[in-house]
A and B are shown apart, each in its own frame.
Chain A
Amino acid sequence: MIRVVLPAHLRELAHLDREVELDVVGQATQRSVIDALEASYPVLTGTIRDPVSQRRRAFVRFFACEEDLSHAAPDAPLPDAVATGAEPLFVVGAMAGG
């Protein structure tokens, strides 16, 4: 079980009032977690990564275990604490603009 904490705009879009719990097939990576998230909540498709290029949107960040994982490869394994559900993966709207 992977836990994901979404920013307010995306929680509202998906009608969520708390963190998401996802069953991820295979290794827990940024890509597999977002795949599972988009499968469970299709309205979020395209909001975290570009639907064509599959690249993380420029103003979206991934944090976990007090580390910034945003620049890690999409298929790099997430920390064990995230993979086991001990710690959540935070999807964060970057501090930018007004």
Chain B
Amino acid sequence: MGGVRVLVGTRKGAFVLSSDTKRESWEIAGPHFAGWEIYHMKGSPADPNRIYASQSTSWFGQLVQRSDDGGATWRPVGNDFRYEGVPGTHQWYDGTPHPWEFARVWHLEPALSDPDTVLAGVEDAALFRSTDGGLSWHELAGLRGHGSGSAWQPGAGGMCLHTIVLDPSDPDRVFVAISAAGVFRTDDGGETWRPMNRGLRSEGIPDSQAEVGHCVHRLARHPSRPQVLYMQKHWDVMRSDDAGESWVEVSGDLPTDFGFAIEVHAHEPETVYVVPIKSDSEHFPLEGKLRVYRSQAGGNEWEPLSKGLPQANCYVNVLRDAMAVDSLESCGVYFGTTGGQVYVSADSGDSWAPIVRDLPSVLSVEVQTLP
């Protein structure tokens, strides 16, 4: 038995793609929540039948859905995301103070050991936690209360907390990333936070090496080495070997170091994947060729992976939450595109095949490796 379950969030609903360990033949279920934006779905590492989904539209706001049977059936849980205390203001695009307003949940991160505990990263940037399976949500307000909060400014996609990285060796340590504030870390379970942006350089802000203000797009790490983090920034691929205390650029020989997604091989902590995107104004691959780049040296030296991917006239994007890996013996790598394709490589990126070609624009891809 065993196999994989791929959870795909799209602009117009959720899809669940299932296969055995060969990852050649797929069952496609969905759309669930048809017509709604599904920014993210993720299963509990402690109970693969428990899955959380963020469901929203600009019309009717935010819902959180929960499945207890592996995505076959769902029920709405709590959707009251209320900032703690007086929300205050952050900076608006024009530099004026703007009240903190909840817009949507970008990312749901179930706890490693408890299916009922889940973190939610939201726009306007804040972190919420539920300990009752999503029924109620409480802000970890120390993050927004960090002294710099009033100076945070939205990125082009909104001021979103889009990345949550848990530390398997320390349940009190959590990393988050915010566009466009940067990386923050707590070592006390979310009470207090420190910015972790030393070494980042961003040309689009007045002080290119500021403590906060960087447009970090995504973080990734390997569970066996929680001190090592990889980052796809707006521009630049970065690496930290000291749990975010400092960063060095590892873009190396990438043809462009702009991008959104970044992921680490399930069994090789030095093998990293990115999808280079032409630029911040042209969100598509270089030369119309869709290529994943892999480094097997922890960065700097990158090789293009294109076998099975379109190599002409391809102008899709791969968003920050739209890449994932499974943990089968031959590591599977998955990503979804804004053109509605979901690709799989069952051989660590050497070759690719589409699982499905014509979904709505893909916002997120997560994979569950099933026993």
A93–B145 Cα distance when bound, in Å, is: 36
Q: Is A13 interfacial (CB-CB < 8 Å)?
A: yes
* Contact B60–A93 (Cβ < 8 Å): yes
Tell me how far the C-beta of A89 lies from the nearest C-beta in chain B, rounded to whole angstroms: 17
Within 8 A of B (CB), among A38-75: 43, 45-48, 50-52, 57-60
Q: Complex formed: what's the CA distance from A96 to B8 in Å?
A: 25
For B102, list chain A residues within 8 Å (CB).
52
Task: Place the interface of chain A in its size category.
Answer: 20 to 34
Please report the C-alpha to C-alpha distance between residue A43 and residue B184 in the assembled complex, in whole angstroms. 34
Q: Are B82 and A9 in contact (CB under 8 A)?
A: no
What distance in Å separates the Cβ of A70 from its nearest Cβ neighbour in chain B?
13
- C-alpha gap A17/B124 in the complex (Å): 35
A59 to chain B, nearest CB (A): 4
* Cβ of A97 under 8 Å from chain B: yes
Residues of B within 8 A of A97 (CB): 58
Check A96 against B36 for contact (C-beta < 8 Å).
Answer: no
Q: Which residue of B lies closest to A52 (CB)?
A: B82
Knowing A9-B35, A9-B36, A52-B102 are in contact, say whether A57-B60 is a contact too (CB < 8 A).
yes
- Contact flag A13-B76 (CB < 8 Å), given A51-B82, A52-B82, A52-B102: yes
B80 partner residues in chain A, CB cutoff 8 A: 45-46, 51
Partner of B62 from the list A7, A46, A59 (CB cut-off 8 Å) is: A46
B-facing mask of A1-45, CB < 8 A → 1, else 0?
A: 000000111100100000000000000000000000000000101
In the complex the two chains form, what is the Cα distance from A60 to B57 in whole Å?
Answer: 11
Residues of A within 8 A of B60 (CB): 9-10, 47-48, 57, 60, 93
Given contacts A9-B36, A51-B82, contact A94 B59 (CB under 8 A): yes
Instruction: Across the interface, name the chain A residue whose C-beta is closest to B99.
Output: A53
A43-B76, A46-B79, A52-B82 in contact; A96/B63 too (CB < 8 A)? Answer: no
Q: Is B61 an interface residue (CB 8 A)?
A: yes
Smallest CB–CB gap between B341 and chain A, Å?
20
As a 0/1 sequence over residues 73 to 109 of chain B, the CB contacts with chain A under 8 angstroms (1 = contact) are: 0001001101000000000000000000010000000
Tell me how far the C-beta of B22 lies from the nearest C-beta in chain A, rounded to whole angstroms: 36
**Residue total for B at the interface (Cβ-Cβ under 8 A):** 14
The complex places the Cα of A43 from the Cα of B75 at a distance, in Å, of 10
Q: How far is the CA of A46 from the CA of B80 in the complex (A)?
A: 8
Docked CA distance A97–B58 (Å): 9
Q: A9-B36, A13-B76, A51-B82 are in contact. Are A46 and B58 (CB under 8 A)?
A: no
Please tell me which one of the listed residues B36, B59, B79, B82 contacts residue A57 in the complex, with CB atoms under 8 A apart.
B59
Q: Which of B57, B59, B80 has the most CB of A within 10 A?
A: B59
Beta-carbon nearest neighbor of B58 in chain A: A59
Whether A59 touches B63, Cβ cut-off 8 Å, given contacts A45-B79, A46-B79, A46-B80, is no
Give the docked Cα–Cα distance between A9 and B60 (Å): 9
Task: With CB as the reference atom, state the residue of chain B lying closest to A53.
Answer: B101
Contact A13 B59 (CB under 8 A): no
**Contact A46 to B61, CB < 8 A, known contacts A51-B80, A51-B82:** yes
A33 to B20 CA separation, bound complex (whole angstroms):
50
A86 to B35, alpha carbons, bound, how many Å?
Answer: 32
Q: How far is the CB of A15 from chain B (nearest CB, A)?
A: 11
Shortest beta-carbon distance from B39 to chain A in Å: 16
B58 A96 Cβ-Cβ under 8 A: yes
Report the bound CA distance from A43 to B61 in whole Å: 12
User: What chain A residues lie within 8 Å of B63 (beta carbons)?
Assistant: 13, 43, 46-47
- For the complex with contacts A7-B59, A46-B61, A59-B58, 10 further pairs of A-B residues with Cβ separation under 8 Å are A46-B62, A46-B79, A47-B63, A48-B60, A52-B82, A57-B59, A59-B59, A93-B59, A93-B60, A96-B58
